[in-house]
Structure 1
Amino acid sequence: MESGRYRNNSNDISFRALYTSEKIQISNSIAYSLTNVPRNDVSNALTYSDTMLPATESFTKSSSKDWALKYSGEYFFMLSKQAGLKFDANYTYGHNDLNSDYTAHNDLSIINDAKEYIHKLSVYLHLNWNPDKANQFFTNFGVQHDWNTINYYGNSPSEQKYDVGIYFLGQNYKHVFNNRWNVGASLAWIWETNRISGVNADNNFPQTNINATWSPTDKHQLYMTANYGSMVPSLSQKSSNMLQQDELMWYRGTPDLKDYKYTNALLSYTWLPNNRWQLSADAYFSLIKNRIVPIYSPTGPNGTMSRQYFNGGNYFSNYIGASATGKFFGGKLVGKLRPQFWIRRTTGEYAWNNNQLTCTAQLNYYFGNFYIFGWYMTPSKFQQNHSGIIRKSPSKYQIEIGWGKNGWNISASAYNFVHTSWEDIRETLTSEYYSLDRTAFGTQYHARYAISVTHTIGYGKKVQRKNEISGSGTAGSAILK
């Protein structure tokens, strides 16, 4: 990259009304969110190892504008001392614009513009029944439906329509034994419908969970949970459209992508020897089967490269970890240390093995109305879940000092304060027809400083702190990227 210019504006406006009584709790909120990137321009110099292709300069000019209007309602009714009903309803109407103009050689111009209209509706019903202290039942029913219409303009004009629905019915059960044992299990069945630009695909699959907690004494606890189910590909991955990225690369989605299975399990042990220390150890296993990855092949127009999504290969991610938390000076100083040993392995197109030790340290100190907070995280290296790209990132750390009283909160923080490099991450990819070694530069890991001043004004009936309303963000997109 020779030069770049970027600007981002975000705005959120939200309103919420709450009603609370002994047997009824109601929350209604309306939010409007706007994210506008009026400029994201990059100038590149590109040199090819093949002498048949001349060195070039390229310029990408892009912008985007996303906005969404959201409604969210939560209703809880206490039916009796043993039963309660909760009803959640959400609706989002959004509009996303994406514009990109790639120019090279002075005779190549690739324009990809897209306008997207989004409707998202979800309704959930939760019924809980506790006939006695030992037995708890939870019944869940839900509907999620997305309607997306995308109009592509420029070099690859088309219209794409998405009508995707997910419906589920589930039952949870929990049993408590003498306040020392409790076990739980859940089974849900999910029905999925896909109508994507004339391609229809329906599916149904189970989601299961089992969990148990054993506390032989007040100082010891053993916990276990395990999950099995399926995950649904994103709408953009299923797009049937085909777009050109630059002079060498085309990309497209795959409408007939299959859902991929996942299995994970966690076993943890916690020991509280006294009021000062808390010690724990845990082990985690995760398997994504038949994951979704992009495949690169020289099957694009005129022998160029093509990137398309396929199901293939498994992703294993496991770790063994430990945590130690200590309190000193009457609880004013709290320190935490957590090392983790990772074992990762992938199969298929991007087979890879890696073992890694990571560590996180955290420290909090409170004195009067002041506090000091700091944390440190070691570098990381991993292959992304749904890509063959191996990502490396440097260490991260932060220190913050703050003060709060009478509704005022003032803080100053320094992030990566001795890191002078602008290098954010390094990514590598190795495949049969296409490989990359890419270094991204930016502000994510560079030294950064921030000052924050907030004041909360309360009036009328007292409300619960730390439950202030906030922006809800824009709607997810099905635009092919």
Structure 2
Amino acid sequence: MRKVILSSLFLIPLLGYSQTEIPDSIEGKELNEVVVEASNQRTSSTSSTYIPMSRQKNTASDAISLLSQMAIPQLNVDPASQNVKTVSGQAVSIFIDYVAASAQDLSGMRTTDVKKVEYLIYPTDPRFRGAQYVINFVMQKYEWGGYTKLSADKWFGVNRSEASVYSKFSYKRMTFDLYADEIYLTNRHTGTQSTETFRFPDLYGKGPQTVERVSIPAALRYRNNSNDITFRALYNTDKTQISNTLSLAFTSIPRNDATTSLTYANDFLPGSTAKSVASSNNFSLNYNFEIYRSFGEKLGMNIESRYNYDHNTSNSDYTDNDFRIINDAKEDMHYVSATPCLVWNPNNHNSLMPYMHAEYSTTKINYFGNSPSHQDYDIWGYMAGVKYTYQQSQWSAGGLVGWVYADVDLSGTRIKDNYPQGNVFGTYSPNDKNQVEITYAFGKQVPDTYQKSPNMLQQDELMWYAGTPGLDNYWNHRADATYTWLPNNKWQLSLNGAYFIADNRVTSIYTPTAPNGTMLRQYLNDGNFSWTTVTANATAKFLGGKLIARVSPMYTHYSTTGEYAQKMDGLQCTAQLTWYFGNFYLFGWYTTPRKDLSQTSGIKDRTPSRYQLQIGYGKGAWRASATAYNFLRSSWESSRETLTSQYYQFDRRTYGTAQHMRFQFSVTYTFGYGKKIQRGNEVSGSGTGQSAILK
């Protein structure tokens, strides 16, 4: 049966090879050029609409590249990490024609099909699932046919290769999508160099001791190979949308090995060479069913249901002379959820959205090696609430209030909790050039499953780590104020101020309470964590939009209490410049060094500046680009982390590929077939799931 299904799937991209794309039936005529200064951007109290320029669509290789070139003022786009966030740093839900999109969906987009990009605040359409901030790509539609897109990426300086194929075929009311990719990465420069200081009141019964350990990586080897394949069938009419998606994802890390030189300042142990040999495999099967139904202008319904299965294995073997630690684990996880929501719009001003959510996951983990055990996790979660929005022509206001109930069983330890969550918001737009938004949100943060693990594992001669089953959920509060100004096509400005606080948050605490008085890293509720930010995005367009400049400064103030009580300030600025000439473009991007304070560990993280130059070409079916990233940095150091606590501190340098120079060459070829009238969304790989294995 498996062979029959796969054979039928692979027929989809082949359907178009003998066909060509049929142009519109209206004959085009050459006209004399007429220059009109038309607005390609406008805003209201709940949305902003941006129309990408033809040169941007023709040169952008994917959706993220298009958003970066458009420089939408309410968004921050990191071209290196491919992250898209609001100007205040909040997550953005991205949709393509009202269907949720993943990173791979966006990479497979045919950018010339983009008609407009909508930025929505608290949208009332049930297909957006109650998301706070939404980007929705409105696309060209196909009556029948579709397109196939082939993409390839090769990195030099960092040994990484990527290839993907996406194909869409539409016929009448049905659309079929097939996506497959492969990513291969090898690296010999991943690891950490650290100086650690341990303060033991009574180590091995020999009284107080202070031990300083210096770790220097001597040999490193890492290899990663991942594959995704996804198939989706979509039925779409004016009032009904039914989507069925099946995806498989596999990630293999056969080598994650390190040889480290260890020295001790006070001769606690003789100098030695430690070896760590590790590997892991992750397999994920995901099925998603979603149905949307409109019952007229006043009533709509959306139901989403999911099933995920994950199988994960990890192996770790640490040796230092005669000392050896083996930590192996196998995990099987099943997850199922259902999320129905209903939208009732009794008139043009009021919108009411009641919603529910139910989920259940069961996880079985077997630990082997020095600390063998068996863990069973069963988690039930329920949520219900209502969202209300009131809209006038120039302003809107509303809020969401809901209740969450959780029932967690961690190998016999039962934890039950229930709490409210919600938000309120208000927007004001006196005209299509100005927009003001104010929001406040509150809720509880649920610790990750691995943080609640009852298991305790040994890391090395001096360090153990463990979870805490009785961790408390902790309150989060956030307030934002954002102003956006769009005076004309040449200028854009967005300003934001935000404040966030987590009360009695979960963080890593180090205490000398492990066997024989050694150190234990354990997750505990301890102290408050807060930050305040002030951010600006300013964009200018010259030469009729052929030259676009943008600058984005940000100030951050951190404050924590508890074990890691401290205050810290950070200032960062990002600048980018894009120049279009003919079928080419030149893109430059630079961001200054950054300082961050971790909410969950008390670690201060300092990352160096990042920069890149990219030249790209786009014409017809072809897109190509060459990128030089951090081209003046030969160091493999990604960040410098420091931590100070009562019993333990470290100064650690992390090495990897993130900040090292690399040269990337990308090419895509897209060919279409059929007739452009009806257009759907793209499908992508789902990626592997999150593991509950203690780490």
TM range (shorter): over 0.9
- The one of 51, 57, 61 equivalent to 2:273 is 57
Bigger mean CA offset, 230-239 vs 71-80: 71-80
Contact 1:253 1:308 in 2 (8 A): yes
Distance 2:376 2:523 in 1: 19
Distance 2:638 2:331 in 1: 31
Query: Is the partner of 1:313 in helix, strand or coil?
Result: coil
Amino acid at match of 1:70: N
Corresponding position: 1:162 with 2:162 = no
Distance 2:673 2:618 in 1: 19
Amino acid at match of 1:58: A
Bigger mean CA offset, 412-421 vs 426-435: 412-421
Query: Is the partner of 2:516 in helix, strand or coil?
Result: helix
1:372/1:470 CA distance change after superposition, 3 Å: farther
Contact 1:118 1:475 in 2 (8 A): no
Query: Is the partner of 1:471 in helix, strand or coil?
Result: coil
Sequence identity, in percent?
49
Matched with 2:346 is 131
Bigger mean CA offset, 68-77 vs 364-373: 364-373
Corresponding position: 1:207 with 2:428 = no
Distance 1:371 1:210 in 2: 42
Provide, for residues 256-280 of structure 1, a one-character-per-residue CA deviation record: whole Å limited to 9, x for no partner.
0010110001101122233211122
Contact 1:238 1:254 in 2 (8 A): yes
Displacement of 1:161 in angstroms is: 0.7
Displacement of 1:50 in angstroms is: 2.3
Which has more helix, going by share of residues? 2
- The one of 442, 446, 452 equivalent to 1:232 is 446
Give runs of aligned pairs for residues 66-77 of structure 1, distance below 5 A.
Answer: 66-77=282-293
Query: Is the partner of 1:217 in helix, strand or coil?
Result: coil
- The one of 355, 366, 372 equivalent to 1:140 is 355
Matched with 2:612 is 398
Corresponding position: 1:117 with 2:326 = no
Provide, for residues 174-213 of structure 1, a one-character-per-residue CA deviation record: whole Å limited to 9, x for no partner.
1112x10100111011111101110000101111111111
Matched with 1:21 is 237
Contact 1:324 1:337 in 2 (8 A): yes
1:330/1:62 CA distance change after superposition, 3 Å: same
Provide, for residues 392-444 of structure 1, a one-character-per-residue CA deviation record: whole Å limited to 9, x for no partner.
10011122222233333222211111112221111111011111111112221
Distance 1:181 1:165 in 2: 39
Displacement of 1:364 in angstroms is: 2.4
Distance 1:41 1:263 in 2: 41
Matched with 1:266 is 480
Query: Is the partner of 1:302 in helix, strand or coil?
Result: helix
Which has more strand, going by share of residues? 1
Matched with 2:258 is 42
Matched with 2:506 is 292
Query: Is the partner of 1:53 in helix, strand or coil?
Result: coil
1:465/1:36 CA distance change after superposition, 3 Å: farther
Bigger mean CA offset, 229-238 vs 397-406: 397-406
Distance 2:285 2:643 in 1: 39
1:336/1:68 CA distance change after superposition, 3 Å: same
- The one of 316, 335, 351 equivalent to 1:100 is 316
Query: Is the partner of 1:456 in helix, strand or coil?
Result: strand
Displacement of 1:338 in angstroms is: 0.9
Matched with 1:278 is 492
Corresponding position: 1:80 with 2:296 = yes
Matched with 2:80 is none
Matched with 2:248 is 32
Matched with 1:219 is 433
Matched with 2:556 is 342
Query: Is the partner of 1:417 in helix, strand or coil?
Result: coil
Displacement of 1:320 in angstroms is: 1.2
Displacement of 1:465 in angstroms is: 7.6
Query: Is the partner of 1:2 in helix, strand or coil?
Result: strand
Distance 1:309 1:370 in 2: 52
1:58/1:119 CA distance change after superposition, 3 Å: same
Matched with 2:694 is 480
Amino acid at match of 1:72: N
Q: Where does the alignment leave 5 or more consecutive residues of structure 1 unmatched?
A: none
Matched with 2:602 is 388
Provide, for residues 275-295 of structure 1, a one-character-per-residue CA deviation record: whole Å limited to 9, x for no partner.
211122210100011111111
TM-score by length of 1: 0.97
Bigger mean CA offset, 328-337 vs 22-31: 328-337
Where relative contact order (Cα < 8 A, 6+ residues apart) is larger, the structure is 2
Provide, for residues 340-364 of structure 1, a one-character-per-residue CA deviation record: whole Å limited to 9, x for no partner.
1111111110112111211111222
1:365/1:2 CA distance change after superposition, 3 Å: same
Corresponding position: 1:309 with 2:523 = yes
Bigger mean CA offset, 316-325 vs 155-164: 316-325
Matched with 2:22 is none
Amino acid at match of 1:384: S
Matched with 1:359 is 573
Query: Is the partner of 1:349 in helix, strand or coil?
Result: helix
Counting matched residue pairs gives 479
